[in-house]
Structure 1
Amino acid sequence: MTSRQLVLANGLRCHLHHQAGARDAAALIRVQAGSLDEPDRWPGLAHLLEHLLFCGSERFKDSERLMPWVQQRGGQVNATTQLSHSAFFFQLPAADLAEGVQRLSDMIASPLLGQQAIRQEVAVIDAECQLLQHHAETLSEAALVDTLGGAFQRFRIGNQQSFGDNVTLLQTALRDFHQRYYHANTLELWLQGPQSLDELAHLAQHFSAVNSTKNTPSYAASTLPSGDVMLQLSDNESFWLTLMLSGEEPVLRDNVTLLSVFWQDEAPGSLLAALREAELCDTLQGQWLWQDKQHGWLALRFSGPKISAEQAQRIEHCFWQHLAAIKLCTPEHLQHYSQLAQHDFACLTPLEQLRGRALGFAPADSVPQGFSAFIAALAQKPCSRLLTQQQLDSPESAQTQGFTLRRKKGLPRSLSTSSTPAFSFYPAAHQAVLPTLSPIAMPLPRIAPQQQVETLLLRPAFYHTLSDEDAQARQTRLRPVLAALRHAGGSGSWQQKQGGWQLVLNLPVSESPALLAVHHALEALNLAPDAKPLAPAQTIVIRQLLSALPVQLIAPTSDTPWLAAWCGKHRLLHQRVSHLLSNFAPDLVSSAQPPRLQRGIKPIPCTGGDQALLLFIPLPIADERNLAALRALSLFLEPRFFQRLRVDQQIGYVVSARYQRVADVDGLMLALQSPQIPWQTLLGHCKRFLRETVADLDAIAPATFAAWQATLREQCDIRDNAEAALQGLRQQQALPNLTPDAIASLTLPLIQQLYHRLLRERRRWRILINQS
């Protein structure tokens, strides 16, 4: 990837990244203004403006606005309002980047901010505010931010009460805020795609129309957290350790990004491995709580089912000892972890990469200068702590940022000491003992590769699911194996893909480490699952329903058969792995059995007070032409569903209609979440929308139909070996894939015929609703 920076004539800074061969492109514009810059009279104004910019601009209105326009092309679009920044971003097929940039620049420079749109978005934000009142992560962040005092304690999400009933006055405040902060001197643009740097520079010129002014955000903060806090939450317990860092933004990010590779490592000898072995926590996540040009407030979140105050103290002790050990790493160690950071970043989507560059963690090209000195200085930085507990003795109620917190100030500290784990770093020199190969070879289909790497895919047979407990138990066993593979020059993952779990091993070039990695992974999968009950998910209701959908569509079985596929060119390694597979305990199958779909309405126990509904409509005829028709139908429905129920009728915060493959079953998925509308009414909205949209489908213009086909052709490209292996297995077992031939054969009557059948066969629908 090659990069260039430039400054437009109006002063707007641009970062251009040429990614040769990429299928998708992305854009992100960051504004140096956020919630802290709002007038005291208008809490939530920055958040409201974020919503309104998507509601139309001078050149692009209605279906030509950025959001519906991107959705019709199968892309992603979103925005975020933070304390000192706001950002707007999208990803879509590379050929559409120019038109997307035009829309992004126009909505930033010339938003309509109409009164009707203001009323609509105020209602949406009011629903979002209600949703967040019981969101564990939001409440934890609010408790931490409260320790900074002053403007950080203000309400900033916004709701109906804070915005009031005078829309004209609110409209004036929005225009003033936009004029004051949305100008070239406070904007920064990132563009990434397969276009040349000169082409990207030409696209950036669309932002030359943004006004230039010398005004800069008025809010500048130099504050420190005031103490430790305990917070009562009905969630997995977490220990938050925060560090207030000072220095230039690029310097802080480069150093913390490299540190995060050490912190996220799961290999033996790592911090996470030591914490898990001592049963102190399960996960470790890092995030920026607040950033400006000279500060970065970093938070590390250690989470587990139960974390006592004494355990939190032991976690912190391990953390500081681990930092001290990193400081002693050799240049070879540091270079190794720096290369891991770059590899991980290269695997992200274009949009994820731009978000990392602008808002999160993006690696430097090499080990940052003064890295050891940076680590040594961390122990002197202002530090604060938050411990969440499911139950506290006599907590006080505190109001901050629009939330009610049940908390106690201070954190109990004990005099007990804990031993320091023996940390180790990679690369590590050791003699590998290779497994003995069985004389029996298992059938291992070989698929033509998309990447210059040898890949093994293992997954349950098509139309088979694993229980959440089983999948989690396997993940626990595979973590150190996959982390060791990563240090050996390969990579791997155990994750849910389209509702089905799969193990992907991208193997090292050297044969011995490759065979050893496969052997250890098979050993981990062969062990009898030590399935433990999972704590209820503390996330929004609709995500809980989404998580439940695979096993509610196809019930797990106790004797799940499996599939294996090889994607690569190394014949000898392929043969040896096929012999290793004979030691794999589950049966390996070569044919798909018809799915046994569960149907009807199913209540799912969920945490949270909102009403939510998830409607999945399976494809009735599983062939390639009907799959292409279903995908085209989703491009038609997605923006209309959002416009009708999110914008026009304002039913709630979550409104989505899209194509989805769940447990290998293709279908349409409609999702709704509302703070007060019961599920029966939500279902009625879905049925009414589907019926009334039939006429719109009949009136589709030829140009729109051609645009659908162009978008679907872009989605035919296979990204990597894992996707190639999966598609190859589907083809071998006569399951449909999206193909250019099927897209070329599409006709509007075929799509209409499929749509009528989907609506007619309502008994095949699977509907999940939340049960509090």
Structure 2
Amino acid sequence: MPAPVHPHPVHLTLANGLRVSLRHAPRLKRSAAVLQVAAGSHDVPLAWPGLAHFLEHLLFLGTERFPTDKGLMAYVQRHGGQVNASTRERTTDFFVELPVSAFADGLAQLADMLTHPRLTLDDQRREREVLDAECVAWSQDAKAQQQVALLQGLAADHPLRGFHAGNRDSLPVESDAFQQALREFHGHFYQSGQMTLSLAGPQPLAELQALAQQFSDELNSGPLHPQAAPPALMHGPAHSYQHVANHHLHQVITCDAPREALAFLCTWLNASAPGGLLAELKARQLATALHASVLYHFADQAVLDIDFTLDSERERATQIEALLYDWLSFFARSDWTALREEFALLNARQQQVQGALALARNDAEDLSEQGVAALKAMLDALSLPAAEHSWQLPPNNPLLRPPAKEERAGLIRGQTSAHRGLRTFAQDRLRGRRELSALTFSQALADDTDEGALYLHWRFDAAAPSGLEHALQPLREHARQAGIELSCETIANDWLVKMHGLHAPMPAVLEALTRCLSGDDEQLSPPAPVPMIAIRELLKALPVCCDGVHPGPRETHASWATAQWQGLGSGLPAACEAAIKLAAARLPGQPANIPYTPRLLNGQHLWHEVNTESSDAALLLFCPAPSQSLADEATWRLLGHVLQGPFYQRLRVELQIGYAVFSGIRQINGQTGLLFGVQSPSMSLDGISEQLQAFLGQLPSLIERSPDLGNQALAQQFAAETLPISQAADLLWQAQLAGHSSGYLDQLQQLIQSRTREDLQHAAEQLNNATGGWRCVANGPCSNHDWYAAQ
């Protein structure tokens, strides 16, 4: 398997003090920037909690050069990229990923918004209401409150125990003192010496460095200001405590080990192999899952959280703690040579498959000798007696080792994938039979990279077996380490498995999947659902609402023997296709071409009520295209492209309806539709519905006023050579479900480019008339008689 061209980033410090990290990866389809400011929630004056988070929000509200409707967020949306920001304890991070052709301009906009924010009082008043709404939602979010409770064992004077989210009371924007503090914070920290820029992309290093220099030239120059050291995490001799709540036991350990040392420890703590801690806990029926992670790391302080999912409500904390420390004692006295080699392989493999944004954010390091010494010292400080249990170190992950090289099947000797047009007549007949089987392989994506995708879909005659995702967790972790993202999704009677990543290990992962699925169904026990905010609960429910199939009761046993399955591979070389076909022959169920017939709404307005246990009003509006034709899909996509920015501007910025406001195209089982989402702490569901309809009613004038519909920018997003493999494979899977031809991507591009203003006006009329129907998924009933309650 080819190694990355530059496995390690190039680090530079520019003349103005800006620290730069450059990653050149020719395999990437996009470019990304991560800008980290060495200042976070714990660096603000005590009088103004939330100021850092507030400033992060304000920076996105436009500058004199780039007003909000032409700012970075709108620019990224137009080019199908990603943009976000995060305020943490001691850092504030800004993330941008864009097509290579749009990256330089996006980087220039990022520099401008960081350096020249408007900070107008009207903007501040509006954005404060958004933060206040977020704070209310945060206070009601079970997961967030569990995190707050978890940190109560730390010293009372440590800032981790404080309030930093920001709300209406803590952000008095009318105060002169607050305004001075806001501008001083920006001037002190938002300058070159306080920043680190990480770039990743397919561009040569010289080009990446030139982009970094251009970015640097736009910044305010200033020195690095050391951040104040916090007080001790815990006072006195204690360095750990326990927290038990909601079937979880948290063992919290405070220490001063470096990041790579803690990442190394967490990797092996989380291993599920026989002879390890999790395997023993499961055998004793003490816990069903274990997840070790670093909650906080700054300077010489770190908080390690070891989260055990308890098997029952009985108090087992003492037994679990004893086994944990016994395992740590064994680990501390073990030879780590093989584990360090494995850890280095894991880090290297992740760099081979990560997208541009993940690669720019990747700060993982191999365990150095200094890291070994620090980890040993940390474990020694726990004063652990000799281990009593016969533990074992986890074995090597076999998926990390490349398979033996084989002659590429389906090619004449001496050929490469570039000679695919020179197949023999017999080979073409073989390919034809393959394409007609339940497992097909798309030729729409080139197979000349290390990456590919595989989709496997089962349909049962009753509700799909529960707990499948939980049962596959060990395999998912091994596959992830090997460079394959394995995920699954259950919708009523259907179960879908996706694999994205390096194609070389895929046959072995598929073999392991067949072994997992041939186990005893009664062993599958799903964990308790993880609480989510209301809008995420609705997004999870949306595919089930659209499916229209009511699954049988869970007590009805779904039989693998009578289940049907089909699959699609993309971007896979011939040898990998052949190996996957062999492995797929042992999959449970019957291979078949499973038809998908979308549930047509025929102009209806259907309302689905979903309980989310939230006081916020949350609503999704899904508007399917009038037909399954590619022409309608292209028009609907362009319509979504035109309205995305204005929709956010109107409902989120101008009307301040909610903090979760979005729109875009969503494909569900081959059906393309426009999706609008809003979560609001202040407006009712009827009010949100009325505002959505009012916005849609203004579409004709919006289309007429738009100087550029964006055909070219949108069409470029569907070029196979610029699409990341995961996105391209998803599109091809949806195309297969919709019954489109193998030339789907090219045809879609051409149709998007040829859409006219008249086409969009006709689509807007169809949308407002609900020609394809409207489906609303909300966390409450609707009193409007235009809607019908879904049965």
* Fold similarity call, TM over 0.5: yes
Q: Which residue is 1:106 aligned to?
A: 112
Matched, 1:376 2:379: no
Say whether residues 1:253 and 2:248 are aligned partners. Answer: no
Structure 1 residues 186 and 483, CA gap change in structure 2 (3 angstroms): closer
Instruction: Indicate yes or no: 2:777 matched with 1:768.
Output: yes
Q: What residue number does 1:240 align with?
A: 250
Distance 2:388 2:484 in 1: 34
Name the CA distance, whole Å, in 2 between partners of 1:564 and 1:149. Answer: 55
Query: In the alignment, is residue 525 of structure 1 matched against residue 527 of structure 2?
Result: no
Q: How does 1:277-356 map to 2 (within 5 A)?
A: 277-303=283-309, 306=312, 308-311=314-317, 313-314=319-320, 317-318=323-324, 321=327, 324-325=330-331, 328-329=334-335, 331-356=337-362
State yes or no: 1:150 paired with 2:153. Answer: no
Higher mean alpha-carbon deviation, 341-350 vs 59-68, is at 341-350
CA contact 2:28–2:202 (8 Å) conserved in 1: yes
Are 1:502 and 2:497 counterparts? yes
Residues 109 and 182, structure 1, Cα contact 8 Å, conserved in 2? yes
Aligned amino acid, residue 216 of structure 1? H
1:4–1:215 CA distance, 2 compared to 1 (3 A): closer
Aligned partner of 2:199 among 191, 196, 209: 191
Query: Aligned residue for 1:445?
Result: 440
Aligned to 1:720: 725
State the shift of 1:529 in Å: 4.6
User: Aligned to 1:150, what secondary structure does the other structure show?
Assistant: coil
Tell me how far apart the structure 2 counterparts of residues 620 and 551 of structure 1 sit (CA, whole Å).
Answer: 20
Give 1:125 shift.
Answer: 0.4
Structure 1, 670-679 or 572-581: larger mean CA deviation:
572-581
Secondary structure class of the residue paired with 2:679: strand
CA 1:105–1:506 in structure 2 vs 1: closer, same or farther (change >3 Å)? Answer: closer
Measure, in 2, the Cα distance between the counterparts of 1:699 and 1:155.
Answer: 45
CA distance in 1 between partners of 2:461 and 2:700 (Å): 37
Contact 1:28 1:87 survives alignment (8 Å)? yes
Match of 1:542?
535
Q: Report the alpha carbon displacement of residue 681 of structure 1 after superposing the two structures with TM.
A: 1.1
1:347 Cα deviation from its structure 2 partner: 2.5
Q: Describe how 1:423-442 pairs up with structure 2 within 5 A.
A: 423-426=393-396
Give the secondary structure class of the aligned counterpart of 2:232.
Answer: coil
User: Any conservation in 2 of the 1:66–1:103 contact (CA below 8 Å)?
Assistant: yes
Per-residue deviation at 1:105? Answer: 0.9
Contact (CA 8 Å) 1:115, 1:168: kept in 2 or not?
A: no
Residue of structure 1 equivalent to 2:686 = 680
Which of the numbers 732, 739, 742 marks the counterpart of 1:734? 739
Q: CA deviation at 1:581?
A: 4.1
Residue 131 of structure 1, CA deviation: 0.6
Given residue 775 of structure 2, which amino acid in structure 1 is its aligned partner? Answer: R
Letter of the structure 2 residue corresponding to residue 192 of structure 1: A
2: CA distance between counterparts of 1:631 and 1:326? 56
| Equivalent-residue separation in structure 1 for 2:111 and 2:490 (angstroms) | 34
Deviation at 1:508, TM superposition (A): 8.0
Distance 2:164 2:577 in 1: 57
The answer for unaligned runs of 5 or more in structure 2 is 400-432, 552-557, 782-791
Show CA shifts across 1:255-297 (max 9, x none): 2333343344444455444444444444444444333344333
Check whether the contact 1:30–1:189 (CA below 8 A) recurs between aligned residues: yes
Which residue does 1:412 correspond to in 2?
Answer: none
Residue 37 (structure 1) aligned to one of 16, 21, 43:
43
Question: Which of 292-301 and 47-56 deviates more?
Answer: 292-301
Q: Is the 8 A contact 1:622 1:735 kept in 2?
A: no
> Are residues 1:693 and 2:720 paired?
no
Two-structure CA RMSD over aligned residues (Å): 3.7
Helix, strand or coil at the partner of 1:57: coil
Shift of 1:132: 0.8
> What's the counterpart of residue 135 of structure 1?
141
Shift of residue 88 of structure 1?
Answer: 1.3
The 1:334/1:149 distance shift into structure 2, 3 A limit, reads: same
> Does 2:493 align with 1:493?
no
Answer yes or no: is 1:643 the counterpart of 2:652. Answer: no
Residue 705 of structure 1 deviates from its aligned partner by: 4.0
- What is the distance in 2 between the residues matched to 1:666 and 1:545? 18
Determine if contact 2:124/2:173 at 8 Å carries over to the other structure.
no
Pairs within 5 Å for 1:56-135: 56-135=62-141
Contact 2:636–2:673, Cα closer than 8 Å, also in 1 = yes
**Preserved CA contact (<8 Å) 1:243 1:299:** yes
Q: Residue type matched to 1:460 in 2?
A: H
Q: 1:754 aligns with which of 751, 763, 785?
A: 763
Question: Alpha-carbon deviation of 1:112?
Answer: 0.9
Closer, same or farther in 2 for the Cα pair 1:163/1:456, shift >3 Å? Answer: closer
After the TM superposition, which of the residue ranges 686-695 and 118-127 deviates more from structure 2? 686-695
Q: Does 1:629 align with 2:623?
A: no
Distance in 1, Cα, partners of 2:199 & 2:564: 45
SS of residue paired to 2:212: helix
Partner SS state of residue 159, structure 1:
coil
Cα distance, 1:626 vs. partner? 2.4
Q: Count residues with an aligned counterpart.
A: 709
In the superposition, relative to structure 1, how do residues 343 and 72 fare at CA in structure 2: closer, same or farther (>3 Å)?
same
CA distance change for structure 1 residues 694 and 270 in 2, over 3 Å: closer, same or farther?
A: farther
Instruction: Give secondary structure in 2 for the equivalent of 1:77.
Output: strand
Superposed CA deviations along residues 709-755 of structure 1, whole A, max 9, x for unmatched, are: 33x34577453389549727844972374433333333332233223
SS in 1 for 2:140: coil
Query: Equivalents in 1 of 2:706, 2:274: separation in Å?
Result: 58
Deviation of the 1:122 alpha carbon: 0.4
Following the alignment from structure 1 to structure 2, what is the Cα–Cα distance between the partners of residues 536 and 490?
27
CA contact (8 A) 1:604 1:770 kept: yes
Structural mapping, 1:607-626, within 5 Å: 607-626=613-632
Q: 1:577 to 1:702 in 2, by over 3 A?
A: closer
TM-superposed CA distance for 1:455, in Å, is 6.6
Structure 1: how far apart are the matches of 2:376 and 2:130? 46
CA contact (8 A) 1:443 1:578 kept: no
Alpha carbons 2:455, 2:733 under 8 Å: kept = no
Partner-residue secondary structure (3-state), 2:369? coil
2:468 matched to which residue of 1? 474
For residues 156-209 of structure 1, give each alpha carbon's deviation from its aligned partner in whole angstroms, at most 9, with x where no partner exists. 211111223625543332112111221222111111111222212121222233
Residue pair 2:33, 2:197 contacting (<8 A) in 1 also: yes
Structure 1 residue 97 displacement after superposition: 1.1
Q: Which residue of 2 aligns with 1:457?
A: 454
1:383-394 alignment, distance < 5 Å: none
Once the two structures are superposed, residues 670-714 of structure 1 have per-residue CA deviations (whole angstroms, 9 ceiling, x without a partner) of 11111132111111111111111331112222474433333x345
Structure 1 pair 582–615 and aligned structure 2 pair: CA distance change class (3 A)? same
**Are 2:447 and 2:573, in contact at CA under 8 Å, matched by a contact in 1?**
no
Please tell me whether the aligned partners of residues 280 and 315 of structure 1 are also in contact (alpha carbons under 8 angstroms). Answer: no
Q: CA deviation at 1:649?
A: 0.9
Kept in 2: contact 1:238–1:307 (CA 8 A): no
Name the CA distance, whole Å, in 2 between partners of 1:162 and 1:221: 22
Q: Tell me which amino acid in the other structure corresponds to 1:547.
A: K
* Cα pair distance change 1:304/1:649, threshold 3 Å: farther
Aligned equivalent of 1:563:
566
Tell me the amino acid that sits aligned with residue 592 of structure 2.
V
Of 754, 757, 777, the match for 1:745: 754
Cα shift at 1:444: 3.3
> How high is the TM-score relative to the length of structure 2?
0.80
> 1:116, CA displacement in angstroms?
0.9
CA distance in 1, matches of 2:332, 2:600: 52
Aligned partners of 1:715 and 1:120: how far apart in 2? Answer: 41
Partners of 1:568 and 1:108 in 2: CA distance: 39
SS in 2 for 1:163: coil
The CA deviation at 1:548 is 1.3
Name the CA distance, whole Å, in 2 between partners of 1:219 and 1:766. 53
